[in-house]
Amino acid sequence: MTYLSLIMAIRFLGLFIVMPLLAIFALKLNGATDTTVGIALGAYALSQMFLQVFFGKMSDKYGRKHILAFGLFILALGSIVCAMSDNIYTLIFGRLLQGAGAIGGVVLAYLNDLATEETRAKIFARMGQFIALAFGISMIVGPTIGAKYGVNSLFLITAGLAILAIILLYTKVPNPPKVEHFEEHAKISEVLTNKELLKIYFSGFMQKGMMVIIFMITPLIFVNELGWNKFDLWKVYVPALIFGIFAMPFGAIMAEKKGKGKLVFILSAVFMVSSVIAFLAKFYVVGVILFFFGFNLLEPVLQSFTGKVARIHEKATAMSLGNSIQYMGIFFGGMIAGMIKQHYGYSALFYLILGLGALWIAVLFTMREFKGYEVKEFKEFDDEMIQNFKNDENVHDLFIKEEVLIVRFNK
């Protein structure tokens, strides 16, 4: 399961690694404007947004491994197209192709298949930590290698990482066990009626949308406005990485061990929104640090809480939909940031984020504190026993895994 989390982290590293310098690179291409650059930054999220649920269903039909490998291959192919692009429209196409391998929900469903009730929270928290670490590494590797060898080299590194992930998938990741549940797969409309899931989804939308905005405006402000050399951007990202490293275990411990998940969500939002205030006050380095502290605070628990709140038959749909909404945030964040900056400037963009951020924090104060479940396992059971559990209002869900009936009761 560690290797599966590593594959997810490798994939995100490949996508994140170009972000610190992509705006500067894209602006130099033929046909580039602030708006098209913003679209290029978020384009991969558009195809991710529409294809997450499709890939999830295909993995149910054809098996997790083969669909994961196919998605990773598409990521490699799209990365090569980006590396060869000499105009903004080819870059946008390559970014769309990168995102077409929409396997995030498949990986989450795979992890859920492999996890036991005792290890599920730990596994998802670890995966979140891996992703946050990949995010942090990209803040160092992207500016240093990209500045020296060109952003094209970063796209080629992404292609190589995708191939490495395919190799790990077939050599290190076990096949998932068979899980039987007693409900049909959830419909999207059913998942969207869960108010607690909607609050988690909104958090993912805001977190990822603000991420692409920060990655767009930070290099433009420091290089184009303040006159920094792009080789020196590491001086901004490294301090942010150091603070982010401290945020990851703090968020995971508070949410998973201390039962303070609601507090972690609220603190994350407050730090990220505070970063915008720092940008408005022209404390740019402080703004970047505040943002990445808040981002890494939330990342280790975001998927874990989706898996906790969703019932067993909803998990694949809920996680795929959650990923789609996060990628929606990335796409709209990049596009709107480019449009507003081009026509109204940085300040208008910051005030818009402040307004949305205030709404986000207000929503999180209505979030229910997750108290966990009491889990019981039965090696001997019959249809009558199963039906009785189905009719029990205290039962969150039940399923059979490796011939053992597992029942989760609400606390």
Q: Mind listing the pLDDT tens digit for each residue in 301-358?
A: 887 788 778 776 677 678 778 888 988 998 888 888 888 988 888 889 999 999 999 9
| 133 contacts 86 by C-beta, under 8 angstroms | no
Residue 183 banded pLDDT, cuts 50, 70, 90: low
Helix axes 88-100, 64-84, angle to 10 degrees: 170
**How far is residue 401's CA from residue 123's CA, in Å, rounded to a whole number?**
17
**How far is residue 64's CA from residue 4's CA, in Å, rounded to a whole number?**
11
Q: Mean pLDDT across the stretch 352-373? A: 90
**How far is residue 114's CA from residue 120's CA, in Å, rounded to a whole number?**
9
| 337 contacts 217 by C-beta, under 8 angstroms | yes
- At 139 the pLDDT is 76
* Predicted TM-score of the model (pTM): 0.76
What residues pair up with 180 in beta bridges, in sequence order?
400
Q: What is the pLDDT of residues 157-167, one digit of tens each?
A: 999 999 999 99
- At 383 the pLDDT is 80
Q: Which 8-state DSSP code applies to residue 310?
A: S
Q: What is the pLDDT of residues 52-99, one digit of tens each?
A: 878 877 887 777 889 999 999 999 999 999 999 999 999 999 999 998
Residue 270 banded pLDDT, cuts 50, 70, 90: very high
Question: By C-alpha distance, which of 195, 227, 241 is closest to 363?
Answer: 195
Q: Mean pLDDT across the stretch 183-193? A: 71
Q: Mean pLDDT across the stretch 232-261? A: 83
Please report the DSSP string for 196-219 in residue order.
Answer: HHHHHHHHHHHHHHHHHHHHHHHH
